[in-house]
Amino acid sequence: MLFKDVLVDTKLKQQLIKQVRENRVSHAQFFLAQSGNHAFALAIALAQYLNCEHPTDEDSCGQCPSCVQFSKLTHPDLHLYFPNCITKSVKKDPDSLQLLQPFREFVAQHDYFIDIQDWLLELGGENKQATINIRDCADIIHHNSIRSYSGGYKIYILWNIDRIHHTAAPKLLKTLEEPENRSLFILISEKPEMILSTILSRTQLVKIPRLTNEQIISALRQKFPDMDEQAAQDIAVLAEGDYNKAIKIHEDDTALNANLSAFTTMMNGVIAFSKQMPLDSLQYESVQLEFSEIIAQGRESQKQFLEFTLRMLRNILMLNSKHPEMVKATTSERAALDNLQSAMTLKRITLISDECNKALYHISRNGNSSLIFTDLFFKMAAAMR
């Protein structure tokens, strides 16, 4: 991985390169990442640059044997540790080494934009407690006690260090404080509050800024050449700096359009009913149809619809509060918001949001979807009165 291919702030990349050129590399660094960031790619780029045989002032050469091995995540002095659990292939005593090849394939498949939930889905461990365990820490201590294969730096990357098991964490303290010469530990996490303070105190903090809309737009149009500028802008606004979220929005744009259609129909029906205007047969059937489609899609889709509704209500609140710059909506969503803005007050938005949150809670607890959405409709209408 070359620095030029890492989607992070240019100044941060230059800062890391400068530390290497001036021989001021801290032996333990904590990469504080944001969701959907390129933190893992940055860690690999730094590791590759440290061991490159012909580095320049701007990047590693990308062609020497060391760089080629790092690009494949197969360098003998690169040690990767990540949350792991029992899987179909690993029946007992799992550790990162046993799952290393699936992890390499996972990283390549996601262009280094890796997310813990996607990794757990890959493992089939969504409902399991995946951790960096005591066997992983024993492996770190073992490798730290022997010389590097290539004579360069030994690199230890611990991805999602916040998931280190409570019995394993103390084992690392002495190694982090007094590592062997030419060793670099890179700890990556989005949740510093979940990490022992004694571990954090032994590392140098490297904050990785959230991706800008412009960076996400550029990355999307590079990955999807047929995507037009407006579509990329709409996705970037909704992604809020999360590249993984941007990809998922693009891949599931039909769900986004379906939620907007259902939301618009529902709100028009709610407003008409709240005014005690009898819904004509066509309008009533339309509302019923939208609800039936939502209910038929399954609980995850139902929860997504309610979360979409909450986001739209927040956007209306921002418009009414004279903060249009804080609205997170696509072009088509803005048109729907403009139509609803005048009918929504702070009190109405508050009451309806409360009811949506209650519905979301009951859907998550396997409540009867038909009853929950019918009840939600009438309570929203009551709030509009």
Residue-wise pLDDT tens digits, 131-186? 999 999 999 999 988 888 888 899 999 999 999 998 999 989 989 988 888 899 99
Which positions ≥6 away from 11 have C-beta within 8 Å? none
Q: CA-to-CA distance for 215 and 257, rounded, in angstroms?
A: 24
Is there a single domain that holds both residue 177 and residue 111?
yes
Which residue reads 């390129």 in tokens? Answer: 38
Which positions ≥6 away from 132 have C-beta within 8 Å? 81, 82, 83, 84, 96, 158, 160, 161, 163, 164, 165, 168
Is there a single domain that holds both residue 172 and residue 288?
no
Is there a single domain that holds both residue 164 and residue 48?
yes
Is there a single domain that holds both residue 195 and residue 270?
no
Which positions ≥6 away from 352 have C-beta within 8 Å? 313, 380, 383, 384
Is there a single domain that holds both residue 238 and residue 198?
no
Is there a single domain that holds both residue 261 and residue 120?
no
% of the chain beyond a pLDDT of 70? 92
Is there a single domain that holds both residue 133 and residue 227?
no
Rg (CA), the chain: 25
Task: Indicate if the pLDDT at residue 291 is higher than 70.
Answer: no
Residue 359: which pLDDT band, with cuts at 50, 70 and 90?
A: very high
pLDDT attached to residue 278: 61
201, 230, 248 — which closes off a domain? 248
Q: Residues 98-119: pLDDT tens digits? A: 999 999 999 999 999 998 888 9
Output 187 or 36, whichever has higher pLDDT.
187
pLDDT, averaged across the chain = 88
> Domain residues for 244?
215-248
> In this structure, are residues 262 and 305 in contact, taking their beta carbons and an 8 Å threshold?
yes
Q: Residues 301-346: pLDDT tens digits? A: 888 889 889 989 998 998 888 887 788 887 778 888 888 888 889 9
> Structural domain tally of the chain?
3
Is there a single domain that holds both residue 221 and residue 308?
no
Task: Indicate if the pLDDT at residue 71 is higher than 90.
Answer: yes
Is there a single domain that holds both residue 153 and residue 289?
no
Q: CA-to-CA distance for 221 and 255, rounded, in angstroms?
A: 21
Residue 274 one-letter amino acid: S
Check which CATH number belongs to the domain holding 62 and give it. Answer: 3.40.50.300
Is there a single domain that holds both residue 257 and residue 181?
no
